[in-house]
Every structure is written in structure tokens, then in C-alpha cells.
Amino acid sequence: MIDLFDIALFFLVAIILIPRIFSTNERTTNTSTIPIMINRRGGVTIPRRRGPIAPAPGRHDEQEPSTPSSLYEPRPEDIIEVKDILSKVSNMPPELVDMILDRAEYWACAATVIDYSNNPQRKITILGAYPAEDQFLLRTEPLGLTKWSRSNRDLWRVESAPKRLKKEYAESDLQELVDGSFSSLEHPFRKVVFDIVSCDQGWSGDRENHGRYTGSWTWFDVGLERFDQENDCVSECPDHLGSEDAEKTPSIPTCAIRPIWPPLEEVDAGGALMRYHHELLPNQGRLIQLNKHAEGNFQHYHVEWSWDDDVEPESAAAQTLEDAGRGTGTGNGAFLKNLKLGDMITVWGHARFPGWTNNVQKVEVKVYWAF
């Protein structure tokens, strides 16, 4: 039987979106030889429906992700306008409007990319058994905080200071940095997409596992950061002095960012000094992707996590994730369900043991949320 609700949804959303779908926004392309972490707000016209949690074997060597120079991307204000139209035309309650837009996957999106292809070597190399065998690569914008902007670009490019989070901001306080009202859905953050172009050193003595993910010692982890309400930021703080626009200094400075993951450990007995604690082996709940073992050509890894994924870590289905080089604990939707307003997602690259190198050319993260 035809669902009348779906028919009404299709025509209503089509009438609102068609004029926007055939419009374009101009985008500038960075051509600097210095890799710059680029954060951009927006999203694809309508995100494609979720595919398999893990792709079929042999599907990782695709062409690297492209960055279109001209593409319509709905902005948060576009979504607010659509919500207003739906509410006024049909007198629907806000909760029902949120459900309709969510079913259409008309989501806001934050995209972040770091690209090393303009470097002389067209990559960066993370060396196992060296002090820098764990490297911070990028962070997303604070999720949902459409009115927030970074001040000091230098602080934004590097890992946050290893300080413990003392007090999280209340959601009511963060709501002041949101255009309009935030989604009423229980889990508003719906999907995160990772696109990674990388490879290892291209050789190893373990010939049996060449071309597989077994025995691979280079990988990428997801991290998480939040703002600390008890951050002490003095007037001469470089976060303020280095502001890109003195009149738009954010109410929450960049120096207030605190790591949730990776965790911290004490350097001294008193705990006055802290440092990041990186595990020797990949954490299966945080592992985005292993590099293919002894594959010297750059590979494009496309990884999607969704809030409604349902592969439990200890189930037989988790073997599919492991066979694709992914964390067996990343297929149950927990990461998306636990995200909060204002969270920042980070990506870390790792290499372990002498001879292993993680060659990174490009990393892009897109986070979609119901607005």
C-alpha cells in the first residue's frame, strides 16, 4: 500500500528544495604549498542513503575524493527557512517538522579537510618507533555551533593542550551559539564520513599478509574534544591576540579546547604536567581504518559511521569490519549517539615498530546532523 505520508513528504520537500538544488555556491580553492586545515559549513544537496557499513572486499583502491569547485550546499539558515515554511504552511509541531526533514536526510554538514598533496613530497610521513609516531591531523568545527568562529589559526591547527576537562558547558549555554533552535531528535548527530588517502611503506617481511589488513601497523584513530568552562584565558592570551577578526573574537576561545580522547596521563607524581596517552595497539572502539599491509600505492579509504548502525563488537557481523581494516567496536552507532552539541572530532595518524611508515596525503571528515 502506498504511504500517503511519504507522498506528501516527497511533494512538499520537492517544492521547497528544487529551486535550491539547481543553484550553486562559489567555492575558493586553496593553492598554498603549506597544508591548511580547511573547515567549511554546508552539506551535499541531499546526502545519499547509507550504504553497507563495510564495503565489499577490494573496494578501497578508488580514486581519491574530489572537492567540487561549484556545488549547492544547504546552509544552516537554509534549513531554518525550510523548517519555517513547513511550520507555517501545514501548522505542524516542531517535532514533526524535525522528523520530516530527518527522513529526507536534509541535514546540516560540517566538512574539514587537510591536504598534503601540495607538499614537495605530496604527503607527510609518520614513522614508527620515533617520538612522533602518533600525530594529530585535524579537528572539525564545534558541532552545531553555527555562530562560533575560531580566533587563532595557529592554535587551531595543532593538538589541544594536554589539560584535563574540569567543567563542561551546559547545553543551554551552548545554545546561544546556535542559529535558530537545535533539533528535537534524541540523537541529532546522524552520520560521520571519513575519506582518507594514505598507504604504508609498501613492503614487509610478512609476505603472507601482503595486501590484507592483518599485521598492519599503521592506522587512523578518531578523537574527541570539548570546551572547558573553567578555562583561564587572560587578556594577553595568544588566542585573542592572534584573532583573525578582533570584532568577532568568539565567546569561547580556542585555548579552552580539552581532549576527551585520546586520554591523558600524568607526567609527574603530582599531576601538574600531563601528556597524551596513545595505546600500543589500535583501540577497536576508535579505529577508523588500518592501511592495507605492504601496499605502497596511495589508497582511498571511505568510511561511514551512522547513528543507527547495529553491528555489535562481539558479534559475527563484526568480522566484516575487521576484514575491511576497521574497528570492530565502531559499528554499533555509539560514537554518534554520544556526541554532544559543541563537540569537536579529531583524527590521529599512527605507526608502530621500526620500518613501518604511515604516508598520509589527504584526510577529510564530514559530519551530518539534524538541525
Give Cβ neighbours of residue 192 (< 8 Å, ≥ 6 apart). 304, 305, 335, 336, 345, 365, 366, 367, 368
Backbone angles phi, psi at 233, to 5 degrees: -115, 105
- What average pLDDT does the structure give for the chain? 82
- pTM here is 0.83
CB atoms under 10 Å from CB of 265, counted, come to 12
For residue 33, the model assigns a pLDDT of 45
For residue 99, the model assigns a pLDDT of 85
Is residue 235 scored above 70 in pLDDT?
no
The residue-averaged pLDDT of 274-282 equals 96
3-class secondary structure, 19: helix
For residue 216, the model assigns a pLDDT of 98
Higher model confidence: residue 249 or residue 194?
194
Most confident of 29-33, 37-41, 246-250, 259-263: 259-263
For residue 60, the model assigns a pLDDT of 45
Is residue 2 scored above 50 in pLDDT?
no
Q: Dig out the grid coordinates for 4 from the structure.
A: 500517503
For residue 58, the model assigns a pLDDT of 47
What's the gap between Cα 90 and its chain centre?
A: 35
Is residue 168 scored above 60 in pLDDT?
yes
What's the gap between Cα 100 and its chain centre?
A: 25
How far apart, in Å, do the first and last CA atoms of the chain sit? 31
Parse the chain into domains and list their residue ranges.
4-369
d(CA 50, CA 333): 13
Is residue 30 scored above 60 in pLDDT?
no
Identify the weakest region by mean pLDDT among 67-71, 214-218, 350-354: 67-71
- Nearest Cα neighbor of 354 from 74, 138, 134, 129 is 129
The proportion of the chain whose per-residue pLDDT surpasses 90, expressed as a percent, equals 56
For residue 18, the model assigns a pLDDT of 45
* pLDDT digit string, tens, across residues 33-69: 456 667 766 544 344 445 556 655 444 444 444 444 4
In terms of Cβ atoms closer than 10 Å to its own Cβ (0-12, 13-18, 19+), residue 286 is buried
Is residue 191 scored above 80 in pLDDT?
yes
3-class secondary structure, 5: helix
**Residue whose C-alpha cell reads 577578526 in the numeric block:** 245
**Residue whose C-alpha cell reads 544537496 in the numeric block:** 45
d(CA 371, CA 155): 28
In terms of Cβ atoms closer than 10 Å to its own Cβ (0-12, 13-18, 19+), residue 65 is middle
Q: Are 123 and 359 in contact, with CB atoms under 8 Å apart?
A: yes
For residue 206, the model assigns a pLDDT of 95
The residue-averaged pLDDT of 246-269 equals 82
For residue 269, the model assigns a pLDDT of 76
For residue 43, the model assigns a pLDDT of 44
* pLDDT digit string, tens, across residues 7-22: 445 545 554 544 444 4
CB atoms under 10 Å from CB of 33, counted, come to 7
